[in-house]
A and B are shown apart, each in its own frame.
Chain A
Amino acid sequence: MSSNLHHAGVKLFKQLARHADLVMDAYLAGSISEDGRDPVVMEKLTQSGILWRPDPESELRLKRSIRALLEESLSDERNRQIDANVGSSLATIKTLANHYKEAREHTDYGAAEAYLADLSEHVYSFTDSLRYSIRVLWSRINNEFGYVGSLTAKIRENELAQSQVSELLNGLELFQFSELAEIAGDIRELRRLLVTTLQESLSDCTQELSVVQGRLLELLGRFRQIRGRTRLLKGWLLYNNLHPDYRPVDHVAHNKVPQLFNRAEGLLKPAAVDVRNTTQEAELLALVSKVKSISRSVLPHQPLESSAVSLEQAEDFDIPDNPLKLAVEEYFCQVIDTGRSQSALSYHQQQQLPWDTESWLYQVIGEYDGLSEEHRRYFELEPQGEPHPDFSGNFIIRDVELWLA
């Protein structure tokens, strides 16, 4: 019996492998047309229960079991089938448990073992399908029902998922562990399956389902908010079209102004200098002259280049005094030392100074005029010469006489 089954199963998988392209085409398109396909192949696939025809007019489709296999193995997000029929699974489990108990009582160990294997399969596949359902729900939540386009479709999908969650939760409530414990009695194998395994998985799943439910509600809220905004905008335009004279009520006239409308006027206004206004030129120049540094904080900050700075003693330097100026100072000192008046030209000859007499006289006059008022009062400088013979008002200086006042 089992070798027959094994053989048939392998044959089925080989058939699937041979026609993998066709099966996937049917999976993706939903149905498959027979045009251009080998009728023999189609017939064989129909016979082995891979394809079926829902009604004589329609095209061939994949059997639900094959679809489910693909959906699950490929984690296809379009899959929204959830087996929420907890009640029938529960009934099957109870029935099998009773079969097993009866076989044990009749000491028919062969049958009992077969029933137990069957029962384990049912329990495990039940918890597995429950977990699978939750996984499917999560994947739909995680991509925010991205497989449908419009917002209303997303809201509908969300509502479908919510109804599936509540159905699952309602189904799980059918499990009465006291009843299962009673059925299991003191049979160890049954207790392990019906009480320990089931209870653990069910409490896990119930918890997770309530999280799923919360997330679904949250998502629905967001979808509705987005839809609400769209409707708000459309409604606003509609209302304004229908009531062209409509003006909003003065909501800020109340004693208590809603926080929404309590907006302070800009205290700091963006300012700019009118550089073309000539009347402000003087003030602007005064302002600019006071600017010590310009900080452009709005400009993107540029990291300062680091460069080595060596701190050294500033090098000494001085500006050598003009020797002519020094000689003139010498002349002034001599007038002070001797206390007598002295002609600049005679001093020049005495000292055999190298500069020409005109420069010398200019420097002496310049030095005298350059003295501070206080110092100048100690000296008297008298130019000696004659008026210009042709041009009145011009005085030609031949020499200057300097003495202490």
Chain B
Amino acid sequence: MSDIQQSQSSATPHQATSLLIERLLQGEFICRTTDEEGWRALKSGSTRNYIEQFLNQINRTLASAGEGEVFFCGYLHLGESERKVISSQFRDICNGLVPLVEWLVLVQEASGQDAPLTEGAAIRLIELQARIDETPAFKEQLAKLSHYRLFGSTSSQSEAQIKLIFKRLLELGYLSRPNSEKQIYIATGKIDYLYEVIRFIDETEGLSLEAQAETASQKDLL
């Protein structure tokens, strides 16, 4: 009888943990938006330890970013081949930074918001598209960024451009789409990871990006 009950509930704790490990091993980012249950489990000490032990056996470890709100899987020990993987991933991330940042700024400006996109924020594609279509400067910006290799659009239609960008962002895990029948997208924790990467580069290389942006905006005001 108890067997029957167990098979009826959709995910027993054990199943949930193995699914979580699977997602981590697929290279996914686990955050509250993409997988709230998994995220909670990783926040709790016991599951976290269990998963860490499991991952350690295959030279993996649990890593986190964004003040501990985003989890992903990293290498426990770095050998030659692991370093190669990390180098190539770092190059990919760096190549994607400019297009992604341009997109973030476009979304923020087109929707007239003070705050840039962060985890959990929703974007209504139809509304965003309407706002971009209304303003030639935004349209130009969209066309420019859709042609970056990261997005790879060849279309001259803004609708096709924006749809492709969102499709790519879904694939890359920066957005999630909770309801496939609706054009509403939610930013994931990977966006917050992106901020952390830029901040890291800024601080380590001493670029003082914030100060530069501030003086630029003050010059604009004058």
Contact = CB atoms under 8 A, between A and B. Distances in A.
B1 interface: no
Nearest to B104: A233
A354 B131 CA distance: 94
Interface stretch (A56-64, A242-250, A319-327): A242-250
B27 A253 contact: no
B85 interface: yes
Interface in A235-275: 235-240, 247-253, 257-270
B154 interface: no
B3 to A, nearest CB: 13
Contact of A260 (B197, B202, B208): B197
Contacts of B214: 231
Contacts of B58: 267
Interface residues of B, number: 57
Name the residue among A232, A235, A252, A258 with the largest chain B CB count within 10 angstroms: A235
A28 B10 CA distance: 57
Contact of B209 (A232, A247, A266, A270): A232
Interface stretch (B35-43, B89-97, B122-130, B162-170): B89-97
A229 interface: yes
Interface stretch (B44-52, B67-75, B132-140, B177-185): B67-75
Contacts of A267: 25-27, 58, 60
A106 interface: no
A230 B89 contact: no
B114 A151 contact: yes
A74 interface: no
Interface in B53-101: 58, 60, 63, 65, 72-75, 78, 82-83, 85-87, 89-90, 93-94, 97-98, 101
Interface in A49-80: none
B102 A237 contact: yes
A245 to B, nearest CB: 13
A206 to B, nearest CB: 32
B222 interface: no
Contacts of B65: 259-260
Interface in B186-222: 193, 195-202, 204-205, 207-214, 216-217
Contacts of A237: 98, 101-102, 105
A228 B207 contact: no
A236 B198 contact: yes
A233 B83 contact: no
Name the residue among A230, A232, A261, A264 with the largest chain B CB count within 10 angstroms: A264
Interface residues of A, number: 42
Contacts of A397: none
Given A236-B198, A247-B94, A267-B25, A257 B86 contact: yes
Contacts of B209: 231-232, 234-236, 238-239
Contacts of A260: 65, 193, 196-197, 200
B201 A264 contact: no
A303 interface: yes
Contacts of B101: 233, 236-237
A239 B58 CA distance: 41
Nearest to B114: A151
A66 to B, nearest CB: 35
B213 A266 contact: no
A371 interface: no
Contacts of B210: 228, 231-232, 235
Nearest to A265: B85
Contacts of B211: 235
Contacts of B118: 229
Contacts of A333: none
A246 to B, nearest CB: 9
Contact of A262 (B75, B199, B201, B212): B75
B204 A235 contact: no
B23 to A, nearest CB: 9
Nearest to B90: A252
The 5 closest A-B pairs by CB, nearest first: A235-B209, A266-B27, A301-B10, A262-B74, A235-B213
13 contacts: A229-B195, A232-B199, A234-B209, A251-B200, A258-B200, A260-B65, A261-B93, A263-B73, A264-B85, A265-B85, A266-B26, A270-B26, A301-B10
Given A231-B214, A263-B63, A264-B60, 12 more contacts: A230-B108, A231-B210, A231-B213, A234-B217, A235-B208, A235-B211, A238-B216, A247-B94, A262-B78, A264-B82, A267-B26, A304-B8
